[in-house]
Amino acid sequence: MKGEVAIVCTTADPASRNIALRLLEMERWTEFEGYRRSGSRSLIIHDGRQTKQDGLDRRLEELGIVPDVLVFASRHEARSGTPWLGGHFTGQMVDEKMELAAAAPAALRSFLANLRKLAPEGFEISAEATHHGPTEVKTPSFFAEIGSTAEQWSDPVLGEVVARSILDLEILSLPVFLGFGGGHYVSRQTGLMSEAEIAFGHMFSSYQVDMLDGEVLLLARERSGAGYAFMDKKSLRSAQKTRISDLLQELGLPVLRSKEIRSRFPVP
C-alpha cells in the first residue's frame, strides 16, 4: 500500500529546500493553513532545523495530519565529498541515555530501492546508522538525504530524484530486523535490504554498540517493530558480539546470518 505520508522540508537547509521546490513542481498541491496536500501526501515547509523537530507529530495532529510515515528531507555532509544519496532513522545520547524516534523500516527500504532506480551514475546509495535528532517522534519516520557537498545539495536533478523516490514510497508488510555492527554507512545491512525481502529498523554501527544496554535494545525493538536481529560479526569484537547476543537472547530476538536471511526471505 502507499499509505499516508507527510514530507517535512525546511528553507534553512539547501538540500531540503531543493527537494521542496521539486515536490512543488511535480505535484498539484492544495494549500491549507500550515501545510499543503496532494492525494495521500502532506507537505510541510518550515524555517527551522530538521534535527530539532521533537514533537512534530503532535503539532501535525492539531492540523488534522495523522500520517503513517514522516519523511524529513535533508542534506548529508561528509568530509570525503562523495556523491551520495540515502537515509536513516534518528536517535542519540541525551543525558547519558539513548533516545530513539520511531523508525519506518519498510519506507526506508522502499526509498533506497527507488534511489537505486533513479540516481545518476557514480552515486553511492546506502542507509546510515541511527544518529542525531529529533528523537521525540512517535510516528514512524526517516531522513531522506542528498550528499555530500553544496554542489549536490542544490542540484535540481538530485532534488527531483529524491522527491520522486519519496513520492513513490511503497509501505509493505515485511520482516523487520535490528542491525548491529559495521561502519556509519552500514553496508551489510544496506546490501541485505536489496538481496532479501526484509527491512531494517534501527541500525547501530560498531562504534555505537558499547552504548547499548537491554533497555535501549527493548526500545529499539519497540520503535522498529522488529522481530529479528542481524550482526555484522566481522566488524565487531568478540566481547561485543557476546554481550549483544546475550541481550538479544533475553529479548527473544533471533539473530540470523546473511545466508539465512537470503534463504528464508528471498526476493520474489
- For the chain, domain boundaries: 1-173, 174-268
Tell me what pLDDT residue 79 has: 87
Distance from C-alpha of 103 to C-alpha of 162, rounded to nearest angstrom? 19
CATH for 174-268, among 3.40.50.12780, 3.40.50.10700, 3.10.20.90, 3.40.50.720? 3.40.50.10700
Distance from C-alpha of 30 to C-alpha of 32, rounded to nearest angstrom? 7
Q: Is the dihedral of CA 44, 47, 50, 53 positive or negative?
A: negative
Tell me the per-residue pLDDT of 149-182, one tens digit each, with 9 for 90 and over: 999 999 999 999 999 999 999 999 999 999 999 9
Q: Which three cell numbers stand for residue 34?
A: 500550515
Find where cell 515547509 sits. 45
CA angle (191 as vertex; 189, 192 as ends), nearest 5: 65
Q: Which three cell numbers stand for residue 241?
A: 558480539
Nearest to 4 by CA among 169, 160, 147: 169
Q: Which residues pair with 31 in a beta bridge?
A: 36
Residues in the chain predicted with pLDDT less than 50, given as ranges, are 1
SS3 content of the chain, % helix, strand, coil (to 5): 40, 25, 35
Find where cell 507529530 sits. 57
Q: Which three cell numbers stand for residue 28?
A: 498539484
pTM (predicted TM-score)? 0.97
Tell me what pLDDT residue 96 has: 82
Q: Which CATH architecture has domain 1-173?
A: 3-Layer(aba) Sandwich (3.40)
Tell me what pLDDT residue 2 has: 64
Tell me what pLDDT residue 34 has: 93
